[in-house]
Chains A and B, each alone.
Chain A
Amino acid sequence: MKKTLSLVLCLCLVLSLFAACGGKTAEPAKPADNGPAQAPSAPSAPGTPSAPSEATPAPAVSGSTSSSGEVKKAAEYKDTFVIGGLTGATGIDPQTYSSDYYGAQLVYDPLLTNKDGEFQPALATEWEKTDDYTYVFKLRKDVTFQDGSKFTADDVVYTFGERMLEVPGNTTAGKLKCIEKVEAVDDYTVKFTLNSLNQDFLLFMAQPYSAIFSRKACASGENGFWIGTGPWKISNFVPGIKIEYERYDGFWGELPKPSKMAYVCYPEDAARLVAVQSGEVDCALTVSGANEEIENDKTIRGVKVRDVGVFMCCFNTKDPICGDLNFRKAVAYAIDYDELIDAAGADSVEPVSTFWGYGSYGENKELQGYHYDLEKAKEYIAQSNYDGSTISIMCFIPTNVLNATVIVERLADIGVNAVVDERDFMGIITNTSFANPQHQMLCFNSSFGVSPDDAVRAVFYTGGSSNRAAFSDPELDAKIDAALVEPDSAKREAIYQEIQKFNEDNVLYIPLDRSLYFCVEGLNASGIVWSSRNAYHNFRYACVAIP
């Protein structure tokens, strides 16, 4: 009896090992179609959009929308759509939390939306730039908040006025520093007066963090800011774990198909993938390390997304060695970019020639980028003031560590001693800021800003929030300022292209490669708008058809 028990135990262990190692027999999945996005239903009446000079969202590699295409009217749909998230939302308020905007896009509406580079009406039906500093928005009259109260111009005044001052750590206030005054002209007309010219103002107004809050609801209680004008109302929030939503049937636009929605955090990639495969969730965000399995599994659909940001290597220009242009050029030519791609996997990254967001407004497509040239690298290192000391390359997260490791090996070929200095997130933030640059080189991934000004100001401007090169040049600062106020779109674009060329010539940030990642959805899922900006995937009209 006891012997049998022992044998059964051993058998169980062996079986569990087989379960882990066994592969699923699967036929290759069909490539995803490029079906139309189930985008928020915007009213057909066009506004009076001024010519926008916004950054165009970059497309996903194989279809940025859920591939089932149009939802057939006769079909039935699952009552609840579940999103398997990578990180748990720590908060709801889009004016305070800047990590992701999945929830914000479900619950709230901004005045405008930005679809393929064109502004579309949302809560505003028309808008007009009356002079360089003044914008007037006409608002929809048929909108109610999820508590049933009417949406009026006063709520816009509250959102961009008092609320930005009264909520501590309001990051939207940081982005919209250009607003001098917001006034309600009447119940459905609102006027913004700017304190400085800003060509990205309308673009900011079309972002999820410019969502409109209800003055009445916010004043009524602790969670009043949960109330928006969108089609989904928050019914339950467990910070860091999940958010549950119920459909708001008083929504002014087209209603979503399911009556409930949930965002549930599955921190482990494998668990998140299994959750889609088993039908526990209907889609999963960014599943890493399982590209082949996703492509071969016929029960799910992988949507390959090209990240808008790039992996980069930068130099602290205040460092005596890295501040030398010859040293920086030597490094740029010593890096074998193909080797970096091979190391990460050709299906995980792709080559880049500029740090600019893929397909974004202002991209300089004529740049060739750097290429591996050992002889040139040796020439430059001989001219540099490199003194034989050990150069440290700070990094954080596996891809950057991998990049740094490969770079260290190539630098050895030109006689540069370098080491990988892996830090945690806080170590990177505190040691590579403009004010306190303790690093020499840094491998990091940049998230390209929503607006071109956001992007260049952060990395090049004196004191910029992501100026990891500790670079300061009054002339470049002036150029960045000039681009922000330049009304001629072509001239503005030319300035941004010039800045990219400046970076290439001065080797401040070396673009290494761009990440390609998979998001996964069930075969019957549709209506998801996958974005190259990880934080901007839109699930407002996501649904699962019942076959």
Chain B
Amino acid sequence: MHMHRYVLKRIVLLIPVLIAVSFIVFMLVSLAPGDAVTATAGGTDLTEEQLNELRDYYGLNDSVFVQYFRYMKNFVTGDMGYSISFKEQVSVLYFQRFPATIALAFTSVVFSVVLAIPLGIISALKADSLADNAITVAALFGISMPGFWIGLVLILFFSLRLGWFPPGEFKGIKSLILPGFTGGIMFMGALMRQTRSSMLDCLNADYLRTARSKGVSKRDVVTVHAFRNALIPIVATAGIQLGILLGGSAITEAVFNWPGVGRLIVNAINTMDTQLICGCVIMQTTMISLIMLLVDILYAFIDPRIKAKYAKGGRA
């Protein structure tokens, strides 16, 4: 019951966040020089008069506040706006690409988690050993290497040389591997370091020393006691990564010709397409907020202490 109230409260709090984000983004884009009409039809054979007519048609000659309130009024009725550069509803454009973004985001997180957590645990268990150093180098590599470089290396090796995976496009499971791995490896480093750090904290905790002295097997100490307690920061990091990835990863999408939201946002920015930018940013903010809410809820299942707090009506 208390949990439900907490979730509801968080959802209600999302509303002012969305309003603030949309207002800031809308104003910043609108106040920058140029507009979508200039970007898409400027330099063509349309005269300045015709361009102005076009601005009138799209309402771009109204004050920026009028434009914003009109946009938000439509937004609350489910109309995410109209893209001038694509001549299409923002909702159509966004949801056309969202499935590919979800697929890429989850695959990337799966790769990131599957690689980072075991390596992080090994690194913690073998702290300061050769293995730990090798894994640390790998983590640094993942964090430091630009995504487009990793992507191109993967394409050259696995697509061109070995022919195992297609170099681009969203065409089924096989096509997910390379972009998913690229997205995953970019986040893997941070997650692995987080896992290592959390595990080291837990492994040195008194209750684990007690468990060991009571004869609990080494395996159980690590997997049941230490890992479970180390999970909270790991889940938080993975959640943030998922939220970011759901907003689209422009670089990975560009390298792998992935039809995701990231490229849509880049296109929108290049063409000063205010409503498209705003629509995408609002959706991205919503995604991150909801993912963070889910992470908070997940805490309760991971950590009985937090669950107990919810049950007593306290805050997590």
Q: Write the residues of chain A forming the contact surface with B, with a CB cutoff of 8 angstroms.
A: 2-3, 5-7, 9-10, 13, 15-17, 19-20, 88, 90-91, 93, 96, 98, 168-169, 171, 173-175, 177, 238-242, 264-268, 270-271, 274-275, 277-278, 280, 424-427, 429-431, 433, 435, 454, 463, 465-466
Contacts and interface: CB of A to CB of B under 8 A. Distances in A.
Given A271-B168, A278-B163, A168 B43 contact: no
A2 B156 CA distance: 30
A427 B44 contact: no
B167 A6 contact: no
Given A90-B267, A240-B267, A426-B34, A267 B160 contact: no
Nearest to B134: A6
A451 to B, nearest CB: 11
A19 B130 CA distance: 25
Contact of A278 (B39, B46, B137, B160): B160
Lowest 8 CB-CB distances: which A-B pairs, in order? A174-B45, A19-B157, A426-B34, A6-B134, A6-B131, A241-B259, A20-B153, A430-B33
Contact of A90 (B34, B48, B85, B259): B85
A523 to B, nearest CB: 16
Contact of B122 (A5, A7, A171, A240): A5
Contact of A266 (B157, B163, B168): B168
B196 interface: no
A229 to B, nearest CB: 23
Interface string B147-190: 01101111111011101001111000000000000000000000
A280 B32 contact: no
A15 B156 CA distance: 12
Given A174-B44, A240-B264, A425-B270, A270 B50 contact: no
A61 B85 CA distance: 34
Contacts of B151: 271
B74 interface: no
B135 A429 contact: no
Contacts of A435: 48
Interface stretch (B202-210, B214-222, B250-258, B284-292): B250-258
Contact of B257 (A2, A10, A168, A266): A266
Interface string B12-51: 0000000000000000000011100111111111111010
B4 interface: no
B84 to A, nearest CB: 9
Interface in B68-102: 85-88, 93, 96-97
Nearest to B126: A2
Contact of B42 (A19, A264, A429): A429
A465 B159 contact: no
Most chain B CB within 10 A, of A88, A241, A242, A454, is at A241
Contacts of B46: 169, 171, 174, 465
B306 interface: no
Most chain A CB within 10 A, of B40, B44, B53, B159, is at B44
A242 B86 CA distance: 13
B138 A9 contact: yes
A168 B33 contact: no
A20 to B, nearest CB: 4
A426 B154 CA distance: 34
Contact of B38 (A240, A265, A424, A426): A426
A366 B155 CA distance: 49
A169 B43 contact: no
22 contacts: A2-B122, A6-B131, A13-B141, A19-B161, A168-B53, A168-B58, A169-B46, A171-B46, A174-B45, A177-B45, A240-B86, A268-B254, A268-B255, A271-B151, A271-B254, A274-B159, A275-B167, A280-B169, A427-B33, A429-B43, A435-B48, A465-B42
B33 A239 contact: no
A22 to B, nearest CB: 8
B57 interface: yes
Contacts of B44: 98, 171, 174, 465
Given A96-B87, A266-B257, A268-B254, A9 B169 contact: no
A472 to B, nearest CB: 15
A378 to B, nearest CB: 37
Contacts of A177: 45
Contacts of A20: 149, 152-153, 156-157
Contacts of A431: 33
Contacts of A7: 134
B263 interface: yes
B277 interface: no
Nearest to A265: B257
A171 B45 contact: yes
Contacts of A174: 44-47, 50
A533 to B, nearest CB: 15
Contact of B93 (A3, A239, A271): A239
B236 interface: no
B54 interface: yes
Contact of B134 (A9, A168, A278): A9
Nearest to B93: A239
